[in-house]
Amino acid sequence: MELLKLLISGVLKAETTIEFDRLLAPPIVFAASLWIYEIVTEIVKAYPNVIWLADPNGMYISPCGDQ
């Protein structure tokens, strides 16, 4: 988890929200699709707005796992 937190902190140094979204959306969507809640939780704690990002199918990360 420490490595994950370090990677997330590096992403959060990005200049714009668009960069955050571009860098964090793929890993959180992938982790959520595999039910790796630890990764999803750490990303959401660091950048809560990531829950509003949609995957390529237009699906959102849902706190209860529902779409």
The predicted-structure confidence for 3-56, as pLDDT tens digits, reads as follows 788 787 887 787 777 787 788 888 888 888 898 989 888 888 888 888 887 777
Centre a 10 Å sphere on the Cβ of residue 40 and count the other Cβ atoms it contains: 21
Distance between CA 57 and CA 61 in Å, rounded? 12
Between CA 56 and CA 40 the distance in angstroms is: 17
pLDDT of residue 28: 84
Is pTM beyond 0.75? Reply is: no
> 60 pairs with which residues across the strands?
54
Q: How far is CA 43 from the centre of its chain?
A: 5
Under the banding of pLDDT at 50, 70 and 90, the label for residue 62 is: low
d(CA 62, CA 67): 6
Q: Residue 63's pLDDT band (boundaries 50, 70, 90)?
A: low
